[in-house]
Amino acid sequence: MPWDTIRKPAAGEGARPNLRSYPEAYASFTWKAARQELDGLPGGALNIAHEAVDRHLAHGHGGRLALRWLGKDDASRDFTYGELARLTNRFANVLTELGIGKGDRVFALAGRIPELYIAALGTLKNGSVFSPLFSAFGPEPVRSRMELGDARVLVTTEALYRKKVMAWRNDLPQLRQVLLADAGESALPPGTLSLTAAMNRASENFQIAPTRPDDMALVHFTSGTTGRPKGAVHVHEAVAAHHITGKLALDIHPEDRVWCTADPGWVTGMSYGIIAPLTNGATLLVDEAEFDAERWYRTLQNERVTVWYTAPTAIRMLMKAGTEIARRYDLRHLRFLASVGEPLNPEAVVWSAEAFGRPFHDNWWQTETGGIMIANFPSMDIKPGSMGRPVPGVEAAIVERGKDGVATVESPMKVGELALRPGWPSMFRGYLHEDERYRKCFVGGWYLTGDLAMRDADGYYWFVGRADDVIKSAGHLIGPFEVESALMEHPAVAEVGVIGKPDPVAGETVKAFVALKAGHEPSEALRKALLGHARQRLGAAVAPKDIDFRANLPKTRSGKIMRRLLKARELGLPEGDLSTLESDEK
């Protein structure tokens, strides 16, 4: 690898990370001990919202700031743990009074407004199941997910209801209640209730439901990067993984101000944008507004953010905006930077080390895993381009599928499928109404992730590509990530998506779609320069044969490049499920 390892201070020097020595933590870790960091409820009951909110009151921390909310218009609201406990109690009482009980599904379709956070935790307190939807979904994706998830209640806003739900609401007879977060009691659309009015009437005392660890708590829909999104089911026990990975992999301390930029409509926004910072007793920062480079830097500075968790798409946009902007802000409080969702190009890691004085720490996980599984821990040296090492309590492997199950691949840097040994608490317990598909994920005692990766001699994992995206060309297995990372090194390149195109001779050939940075125009000369750069970096067998320029690449709403769509369009094939597509280049 051409990238230098970023060395970290030896344990004991400088800041005090929660995980001081990776090998020691990995060797001594047990999930039982992790569970004991939580309080639990009498009789072995466990409830995510109790661990996130109310137990801090029992420990005398009710006055501590739990949630700081920044509105689009620069208004802000602060909620202490005590206030959050009372508001979520009110929400749980609203549900109870509406006859919504254990296991009933409560959906949310809202921007990042305070009521969304209150509804999430209040639903869990009630023993009901919470399923957040991304507010930018169109009517059909909202409907299909609510139908699949058997929604009993929807929490939304009046505008979103009128635009996206009203037309088909009566087609979903099981949908009993619609609560509008921003509506008063007069002139409500028929069949809806004012959440504010209901909350005001409700008591602020509530006995949290004594949920069992394996009771269903959350349903999260996957990002739809590779096809139709699946509804992954998670249980209350998952909180043990949220808590401990927040503590070890994101290094959350109680005095931290944590900004996870993901929307709760995606699993990251729930596991680390709500649950983990709260179980760790920290302050959670929520920004209602969408990405804007200046706003983000201002927020990092003014809110004295210490732990920042974001995604490669945002990091690429910040890189595009330039290092000079970063330098204009006082970011001295920023202590730990982490990224998830897509491969993080080594270029971005090196850039961040320069722009912020500290690098982004990539970590890997999926909606299905519920929490971080592979991470670059704060005390661990970073190899730019690597996802890091398995979190304590998680056994990972590289495997090959064969006729009789799977075999583990022991040789370093050999490509295979990334597999995890089932048993960590936040593992999904099913895909909604897709039992067969769920069962097929488990082979020979492993959960197979569908991602291809390699492990080096030091135990670091390297992402190669999704099994669906990997290119087979003239006997070579080519991961799009490697090709994309090489092109990203070129100063003109802002974003790249790489696909395989069928070829009668090679099987497939590599084609790249490139979006350029401001100030660069597509030209034949630039195309040649990029092809040359890639050939020099990757060799002729792996380098793209062809490059097309695009103003934008198609992405999911969570910011992932949709290679399947680049491919379908290139080959004139059906485009498949587009419910999560954000920027459409057509």
DSSP code per residue over 378-445: TTSPB-TTEEEEEPTT--EEEEEEETTEEEE--STT--EEEEE-S--TT----BTT-HHHHHHTEETT
Question: From Mg ion, ligand ATP, none, which one binds at residue 486 (CB under 5 to 8 Å depending on kind)?
Answer: none
Q: Dmax of the chain from CA atoms? A: 72
Within 13 Å and on the Cβ side, how many CA atoms surround 213? Answer: 17
| Shortest Å distance, C-beta 469 to ligand ATP | 9
Going by C-beta distance under 8 Å and a sequence separation of 6 or more, which residues neighbour residue 41? Answer: 47, 50, 208, 210
| Shortest Å distance, C-beta 344 to ligand ATP | 6
Going by C-beta distance under 8 Å and a sequence separation of 6 or more, which residues neighbour residue 439? Answer: none
Q: Is 335 helix (H, G, I), strand (E, B) or coil?
A: coil
What mask of x and - would describe binding to Mg ion in positions 180 to 219, judged by CB under 5 A?
----------------------------------------
| Shortest Å distance, C-beta 363 to ligand ATP | 6
Strand-strand pairing, 151-156 and 177-180: parallel
By beta-carbon proximity to ligand ATP, the closer residue of 367 and 379 is: 367
Question: From Mg ion, ligand ATP, none, which one binds at residue 160 (CB under 5 to 8 Å depending on kind)?
Answer: none
| Shortest Å distance, C-beta 371 to ligand ATP | 12
Question: From Mg ion, ligand ATP, none, which one binds at residue 342 (CB under 5 to 8 Å depending on kind)?
Answer: ligand ATP
| Shortest Å distance, C-beta 430 to ligand ATP | 15
User: Which residues make up the interface to ligand ATP (CB under 6 A)?
Assistant: 222-227, 229, 340-344, 362-364, 366-367, 387, 449, 451, 463, 466, 560
| Shortest Å distance, C-beta 368 to ligand ATP | 6
By beta-carbon proximity to ligand ATP, the closer residue of 222 and 306 is: 222
By beta-carbon proximity to Mg ion, the closer residue of 79 and 266 is: 266
- Alpha-carbon gap, residue 190 to 517, rounded angstroms: 49
By beta-carbon proximity to ligand ATP, the closer residue of 340 and 530 is: 340
| Shortest Å distance, C-beta 389 to ligand ATP | 13
Nearest to 253, CA basis, from 182, 185, 336: 336
Angle at 488 between CA 487 and CA 494, to 5 degrees: 120
Question: From Mg ion, ligand ATP, none, which one binds at residue 253 (CB under 5 to 8 Å depending on kind)?
Answer: none
By beta-carbon proximity to Mg ion, the closer residue of 436 and 524 is: 436
By beta-carbon proximity to ligand ATP, the closer residue of 163 and 421 is: 421
Burial of 491 (0-12, 13-18, 19+ CB in 10 A): exposed
Question: From Mg ion, ligand ATP, none, which one binds at residue 362 (CB under 5 to 8 Å depending on kind)?
Answer: ligand ATP
Residue 91 CA from chain centroid, whole number: 26
How many helices (H) and strands (E) are present in the chain, helices listed first?
20, 27
- Alpha-carbon gap, residue 55 to 77, rounded angstroms: 22
| Shortest Å distance, C-beta 373 to ligand ATP | 9
Q: Which positions from 219 through 238 interact with Mg ion, judged by CB under 5 A?
A: 222
Question: From Mg ion, ligand ATP, none, which one binds at residue 340 (CB under 5 to 8 Å depending on kind)?
Answer: ligand ATP
By beta-carbon proximity to ligand ATP, the closer residue of 208 and 380 is: 380
* Cβ atoms of 92 and 122 closer than 8 Å: yes
CB neighbourhood size of 187 (10 A): 7
Question: From Mg ion, ligand ATP, none, which one binds at residue 224 (CB under 5 to 8 Å depending on kind)?
Answer: ligand ATP
* Cβ atoms of 446 and 421 closer than 8 Å: yes
Instruction: Provide the phi-psi class of 583: left if phi over 0, else alpha when psi is between -120 and 50, else beta.
Output: beta
By beta-carbon proximity to Mg ion, the closer residue of 222 and 271 is: 222
- Alpha-carbon gap, residue 497 to 508, rounded angstroms: 16
| Shortest Å distance, C-beta 194 to Mg ion | 38
By beta-carbon proximity to Mg ion, the closer residue of 201 and 433 is: 433
By beta-carbon proximity to ligand ATP, the closer residue of 101 and 227 is: 227
- Alpha-carbon gap, residue 500 to 542, rounded angstroms: 11
| Shortest Å distance, C-beta 268 to ligand ATP | 8
- CB-based closest residue to Mg ion: 222
| Shortest Å distance, C-beta 436 to ligand ATP | 16
What six digits make up the tokens of 171? Answer: 């087609």
DSSP state of 74: S
By beta-carbon proximity to ligand ATP, the closer residue of 197 and 568 is: 568
CB neighbourhood size of 536 (10 A): 11
Question: From ligand ATP, Mg ion, none, which one binds at residue 229 (CB under 5 to 8 Å depending on kind)?
Answer: ligand ATP
* Number of residues engaging Mg ion in binding (CB under 5 A): 1
What six digits make up the tokens of 512? Answer: 């790249």
Question: From ligand ATP, Mg ion, none, which one binds at residue 461 (CB under 5 to 8 Å depending on kind)?
Answer: none
Q: Which parts of this chain interact with Mg ion (CB under 5 A)?
A: 222
